[in-house]
Structure 1
């Protein structure tokens, strides 16, 4: 039978998670846990580029190409 883990997080860990999420516009935050403890926080951000044509409504030909 497994023993319950202490699920309380330190203030430092909570602040780092919040900072990672607040600084993110597009992407993901991954939290790695070992033995019930947060051991790593990863932030992956996507940088997206677009042109003015993509912001307007696509025509039937453009929509078919997507």
Structure 2
């Protein structure tokens, strides 16, 4: 494994550690990682409507 491969793997691991909800997509061309995309989801709790009497 060369220096560039190690850098890409470290980047992938860092993104995984940051991600709470979402996805990480790794694009490979000719056996080499060419792109890394992350999609992060933020979840907010639903607010319940006040019950009117």
The TM-score range, normalised by the shorter chain, is 0.7 to 0.9
Structure 2 CA distance for aligned equivalents of residues 17 and 11 of structure 1? 10
| Higher mean C-alpha deviation, range 44-53 or range 32-41 | 44-53
- 1:10-21 matches, within 5 Å, as 10-21=5-16
Identify the residue that residue 47 of structure 1 maps to in structure 2: 42
TM-score, reference length from structure 2: 0.76
Larger Cα-atom Rg: 1
Q: Between Structure 1 and Structure 2, how many residues are aligned?
A: 46
Greater than 6 Å deviation, 4+ residue runs? none
TM-score, reference length from structure 1: 0.62
